[in-house]
Amino acid sequence: MGKITLKSVRKSFGEVDVIPGIDLSIEDGEFVVFVGPSGCGKSTLLRLIAGLEDASGGSIAIDGVEATDLPPAKRRLAMVFQSYALYPHMSVRKNIAFPLKMAGMSAEDQAKKVDNAARILNLTSYLDRRPGQLSGGQRQRVAIGRAIVREPAAFLFDEPLSNLDAALRVSMRQEISELHQTLKTTMIYVTHDQVEAMTMADKIVVLNAGRIEQVGSPMELYRSPANTFVAGFIGSPKMNLIDGAEAAKHGAQTIGIRPEHIDIHDSGPWQGMVVLSEHLGSDTFLKVNATGLGTLTVRASGEVALRHGDTIRFAPQPGKMMRFGSDGKALA
Amino acid sequence: MARKVSTRRKLAFTAAAWAVALIIFFPVLWTILTSFKTEASAVASPPEFLGADWTLENYVEVWGRSDYPRFFWNSVVISVGSTLLGLLIAIPAAWSMAFVPGKRTKDLLMWMLSTKMMPAAAVLIPMYLLFQWTGLFDTRIGLVLALMLMNLPVIVWMLYTYFKEIPGEILEAARMDGANLRNEIIYVLTPMAIPGIASTMLLNIILAWNEAFWTITLTTVDAAPLSAFIASFSAPQGLFYAKLSAASTMAIAPILILGWFSQKQLVRGLTFGAVK
């Protein structure tokens, strides 16, 4: 079981309120991603749940048991750190067995569990090496192995993939998702990468300046962002946010339209000059200096033969435009 | 061509390194050589080297005239004792400063270091009187305390820098893995800090062994270590260079041998963190 409930959890460092007060409920077996820009408090929130930071107020319950004042060791949570945080003086085998040793498990049971974890993570042939002799991806696997042997109530991941190169990041991302399918244990994953958030999460928690901006499934956040912050943060390339006269025409302070929801055709109401075109093969991203709208990103499918200086007309797809009020919140 | 130049540069640097090392080592070398000469040969001008009268009689006389083993044992007790006591106090101190730093940790460290800048002579009278009143004068425990206090800033600073090198996340990982503070220290922190602790220990034993000001001032007979042993040979009879050199050689030999065997550890310790 791994149900985690936060009630008005606060954290301040000196006079700075990093987290002014958060309420959040994480269901058993859920894959929850905390996402937000640097300094939004997502790592602090994870560390509060882990018990590595003391909450300045509020309460944290794990499976209904009050855990706010429990030390990390007593919370039955396992954590995978960005730096892997392996014990450099121990072999891979001893690293993975460490939590079991701390739990007082017999050497025989330890060996069984370590072998099992090593098999799941393809680490069997590295068990007698030291962390220093492993590549980044292998180290990350060891860190995950150390987490899974304990059979914790929940896994906490603190930006675990940000030290890996792009290709490895994608494959580790899939491995972690598969691990979640297999283990069905609650996972809380912190990242600043919205692609990781979108691809892995059952539920995304978007954080900004220590506050929750929106909680929802990836598609909910994509389809109906609660405010301009979420609208701009979720989705790649970013949603175009347009202020001014055009927005006023739609009765809003700001209107938003995603690059993939703009069609190029000659009878479109908007007009602009192509500033930059990025050809990815499958898609072409056009940066367009649009008259009266500012710079917009337009996503065209496949290869499009448009270049810097070309003038185009384009139109938002019907029903895809989002409207936001003066407080930044979405209008119905 | 490029290879030739680099070889020449390498030779030049090696020669320079040897030259500097020899200049630094020369007084020690000269002391050792002088200790094997007769008194007449030791003070000869110009200095004699190859043609000197070589003899072992200085050692025989120094050994016979004084109780070397007692001085030696006092040196061992004082240097090792003050270092171990210092570590006992400094490890928790450095620990808390490195891993749970407060607002004034930096100031505290600077203040500790500043005490090393105070001239020892400035507190000579108060220390002397304090030792007399408390009955610590000419006792080993007194010297252990004095040298421990003298070297404590160095020990704390060294340990602090070593502990700082240990990533906090590894300790947090241990906590998450279910280790309590005791297990975290035994299984994770200490094994990782052992090279640092060892080189701190070695350096402080050497510092304490070589200390002369307090060891000579605060002792007469019972607790006098090897520094006082050397000093006793420069005293009333006038200067007997060969005997003084023999006494000096006997005093520095143990620490020289210790330093020789642990040089790898010492160099590693002193450059810890500089090279990853």
Q: What residue in B sits closest to A155 (Cα-Cα)?
A: B176
DSSP structure string for B200-215: HHHHHHHHHHH--HHH
Q: Which of A204, A229, A254 is the last residue of a domain?
A: A229
Residues A156 and A283 in one domain: no
Q: Which residues of B touch A72 (CB under 8 A)?
A: 172, 175-176
Report the half-sphere exposure of A50 (CA within 13 A, side-chain side): 29
Residues A139 and A241 in one domain: no
**Domain, as residue range, for A267:** 237-324
**Cβ B140 vs Cβ B74: under 8 Å:** yes
Residues A215 and A242 in one domain: no
Percent of chain A with pLDDT over 70: 100
pLDDT at B32 (0 to 100): 92
The CB density around residue A13, as the number of other CB atoms within 10 Å, is 11
pLDDT at B220 (0 to 100): 86
**Cβ A114 vs Cβ A96: under 8 Å:** yes
Tokens 């606060």 label which residue?
A10
Bridge-based pairing of strands A65-66 and A16-26 is: unpaired
Residues A217 and A256 in one domain: no
Q: At A288, which CATH number?
A: 2.40.50.140
Q: Which helix (H) or strand (E) holds A246?
A: helix A245-249
B178/A83 touch (CB, cutoff 8 Å), yes or no: no
Q: Which of A229, A248, A280 is the last residue of a domain?
A: A229
Interface-testing mutation among A102, A140, A142, with chain B (most B C-beta atoms within 10 A): A102
- Is pLDDT at B64 greater than 90 in this prediction? no
Q: What is the three-class DSSP state of B159?
A: helix
Name the class of domain B67-232: mainly alpha
Residues A208 and A311 in one domain: no
Q: Which residues of A touch B170 (CB under 8 A)?
A: 85-88
- What global pTM score does this model have? 0.77
The CB density around residue A15, as the number of other CB atoms within 10 Å, is 5
Domain-wise residue ranges, chain B: 67-232
Round to whole Å and give the CA distance between A26 and A4.
Answer: 5
Of A50, A52, A87, the CB nearest to B188: A87
**Cβ B242 vs Cβ B53: under 8 Å:** no
Is residue A278 in some structural domain? yes
Residues A197 and A291 in one domain: no
Which of A46-55, A171-180, B147-156, B216-225 comes out lowest in average pLDDT?
A: B216-225
Complex ipTM over 0.95: no
| Angle at CA of residue B98, ends B170 and A82, nearest 5° | 30
Q: At A36, which CATH number?
A: 3.40.50.300
Of A82, A89, A146, the CB nearest to B191: A89
Query: For chain B, where are the alpha helices, taking DSSP H only?
Result: 2-35, 39-42, 57-65, 68-99, 105-114, 124-133, 140-165, 168-176, 181-183, 190-210, 213-217, 226-231, 241-261, 263-270
Quote the number of domains for chain A: 2
Q: Which of A213, A229, A245 is the last residue of a domain?
A: A229
Residues A209 and A274 in one domain: no
DSSP structure string for A281-332: SSEEEEEEEETTTEEEEEEEES-----TT-EEEEEEPTT--EEE-TTSBBP-
Round to whole Å and give the CA distance between B172 and B100.
Answer: 12
Round to whole Å and give the CA distance between B178 and A98.
Answer: 9
Residues A181 and A39 in one domain: yes
Nearest residue to A152 via CA among A216, A204, A201, A80: A80
- Is pLDDT at B235 greater than 70 in this prediction? no
Which of A37-41, B129-133, B259-263 comes out lowest in average pLDDT?
A: B259-263
Q: At what angle do helices B241-261 and B68-99 cross, to 10 degrees?
A: 40
Q: What residue in A sits closest to B170 (Cα-Cα)?
A: A85
C-alpha to C-alpha distances, A17 to A11, A36, A44, A206, nearest whole angstrom = 6, 17, 11, 18
Is residue A268 in some structural domain? yes
Round to whole Å and give the CA distance between B253 and B258.
Answer: 9
Q: What residue in B sits closest to A103 (Cα-Cα)?
A: B178
pLDDT at B274 (0 to 100): 42
Round to whole Å and give the CA distance between B153 and A292.
Answer: 68
Each residue's pLDDT tens digit, A80-121: 999 899 999 999 999 999 999 999 999 999 999 999 999 988
